[in-house]
Chain A
Amino acid sequence: MTRINDVPNSEEPLYYYPGCLSLNMYPGIAYSTLKVLEMLGYKVFLGEEICCSLTFKNVGLMPPETVYSINAFIMSKTYLKSRFIVTSCNGCYSNLNDTLKKLEDEGFRRLIDELNMTIPQGIKIIHVAEVIYKQIEEIARIGERNLKGLRVAVHYGCDYTYAHPDLVIDSVEYPRFLDDFIERFGGEPIEYDEKQTCCGQPAIKGVGDITMELAKRKILSINSVDTDILLVMCPACLLAFDRVQYSLISLGEINRVIPVIHVSQLAGLILGLNFKDLGLDLHLVKEFNRFHGLR
């Protein structure tokens, strides 16, 4: 848990880099993240709308050096503003951290110099879930709602846990920090068999429907243990579970859906943001009735 010390306290300015999905698919995630960070006392700079290009690297369309250079450009935008880039997406978090490691390579460093990019010394890439976990007591102090009576299944996501095992603030194979977060606010974290498996969203488009197969396996597992809500920390995972459940219920393959929520939206809910601001009505699975009773 040593890296939790790297997560900045509220006197530090932050540069929030939202990424494509948090902006254009589920903008409630970007808005909640911004609001939650501000409510916790951080001065936040909203990052420019430039994709981290992880998809292009993964599919083999762009050489890794091209993608890392694009990320270095994103990092250079923080110059004179902040030493911390906060992301709400596991993919951006992983890709930016890959770039940070690549910057230790002398050849790549030279390339960045040639491109006239200045990257702040000691820059760190932080996931908003880590900030929320670090500020758990502050959220409890200023929060307006709790999670009493809510049964919550957590999905952490591979690009946070397995992509950078050395950076995870918790156990890589058995992380619990978001389960602890649920417990702190009176909710009940639920264990399920497929907790550590992938959501399937990063599958190459058009090569079978791998996303459907994998997300379905997880949804059936979560469905079997009576869950009210599924908590994720990545908009891509949210997309997989949201879309696949929408398909499965339409096809009659499941008889109930579990609403999916991002950790920023959940923190926003506790802090008193209204449903409209959280953007919950933009999800495909909208059964958020269980939230209405929360005090």
Chain B
Amino acid sequence: MLENKNKKLIQYYVLKCFQCGVCTGSCPVSSITPFNPRRIAYKIVRGIGGIDEIWYCLICHICEARCPSLIEFTKVVTKLREESIRARRDILNTYREMLKQFLDSGLVIKPISNEVEVYREKLKQDLDKEGFHRVLREIFMKTGFQGVGIDED
């Protein structure tokens, strides 16, 4: 499932885990979904694949703030998500709409109603779109982001 380089990196993140379970006990979603950070850490260290529960994580950071080994578990989750998002077309489709909106306007959501649009006049700010797009292009190029899924289909 994981590329070798990332697999090593992710294993390195969780190597200090001694399975105390404070993360899972603190996790707001572990009681309502199959998400279990302690078990995920175990699977990673043992090299066991099939960690589809990662999509339930809220990245709320509670587990990190309480972890006695100071493991940055949200980094593990986002890294695993980066690895497998291409396989989750349903998720990809939702977020690439937001990505399109971001590339087009700078923000990920449009004003949600006419009332909001009218109110927004008080806060009007003109974005230098050309400059924004130029910087984004450069950032994407230098950080290796290729707009995953945006030009597909």
Q: Which positions in A face B, CB cutoff 8 Å?
A: 18, 20-21, 23-25, 27-28, 30-31, 34, 46-51, 53, 55-66, 69-70, 73, 94, 111, 114-115, 158-159, 161-163, 165, 172, 197-198, 200, 202-208, 210, 213-214, 279, 281-282
**Residue from A27, A30, A55 with most neighbouring chain B CB atoms (10 Å):** A27
A210 B123 Cβ-Cβ under 8 A: no
5 A-B contacts, Cβ less than 8 Å apart? A25-B109, A48-B125, A49-B105, A210-B56, A214-B29
With a cutoff of 8 Å between Cβ atoms, the chain A residues found around residue B92 in the complex are 61
The 3 closest A-B pairs by CB, nearest first: A60-B81, A158-B60, A162-B61
A282 B98 Cβ-Cβ under 8 A: no
Closest approach, in angstroms, between the C-beta of B37 and any C-beta of chain A? 14
B108 A55 Cβ-Cβ under 8 A: yes
Q: Which of A50, A162, A282 contacts B106 (CB 8 A)?
A: A50
Nearest-neighbor residue (CB-CB) of A72 within chain B: B139
With a cutoff of 8 Å between Cβ atoms, the chain A residues found around residue B136 in the complex are 70
A65 B143 Cβ-Cβ under 8 A: yes
Q: Which positions in B face A, CB cutoff 8 Å?
A: 28-29, 32-33, 55-56, 58-62, 64-65, 78-85, 90-92, 94-96, 98-99, 102, 105-113, 115-116, 119-120, 122-123, 125, 127-128, 132, 135-136, 138-140, 142-145, 148-149
B123 A18 Cβ-Cβ under 8 A: yes
User: A51-B107, A282-B115 in contact; A61/B60 too (CB < 8 A)?
Assistant: no
Tell me the interface secondary structure of chain B in the complex.
helix
Closest approach, in angstroms, between the C-beta of A220 and any C-beta of chain B? 14
Q: Which of A31, A55, A61 contacts B123 (CB 8 A)?
A: A31
A66 B78 Cβ-Cβ under 8 A: no
B108 A115 Cβ-Cβ under 8 A: no
With a cutoff of 8 Å between Cβ atoms, the chain B residues found around residue A27 in the complex are 111, 116, 119-120, 122-123
Closest approach, in angstroms, between the C-beta of B90 and any C-beta of chain A? 6
B119 A20 Cβ-Cβ under 8 A: no
B58 A202 Cβ-Cβ under 8 A: yes
With a cutoff of 8 Å between Cβ atoms, the chain B residues found around residue A204 in the complex are 55-56, 91
Nearest-neighbor residue (CB-CB) of A114 within chain B: B142
A279 to B122, CA, bound (A): 11
User: A24-B120, A60-B85 in contact; A69/B142 too (CB < 8 A)?
Assistant: yes
User: A24-B120, A51-B107, A55-B108 in contact; A63/B85 too (CB < 8 A)?
Assistant: no
A20 to B120, CA, bound (A): 12
A210 B139 Cβ-Cβ under 8 A: no
A56 B78 Cβ-Cβ under 8 A: no
A59 B145 Cβ-Cβ under 8 A: no
Q: Which of B62, B83, B142 contacts A198 (CB 8 A)?
A: B62
B59 A20 Cβ-Cβ under 8 A: no
Given contact pairs A24-B120, A60-B82, A114-B142, a sample of 6 additional A-B residue pairs in the complex whose CB atoms are under 8 Å apart = A27-B120, A48-B125, A59-B95, A66-B140, A69-B142, A161-B65
User: A55-B95, A172-B65 in contact; A162/B60 too (CB < 8 A)?
Assistant: yes
Q: Which of B28, B111, B127 contacts A197 (CB 8 A)?
A: B28
**Residue from A20, A204, A208, A214 with most neighbouring chain B CB atoms (10 Å):** A204
A63 to B82, CA, bound (A): 7
Q: Which of A34, A60, A279 contacts B80 (CB 8 A)?
A: A60
Nearest-neighbor residue (CB-CB) of A277 within chain B: B122
Closest approach, in angstroms, between the C-beta of A66 and any C-beta of chain B? 4
A60 to B125, CA, bound (A): 30
A61 to B143, CA, bound (A): 13
Nearest-neighbor residue (CB-CB) of A52 within chain B: B108
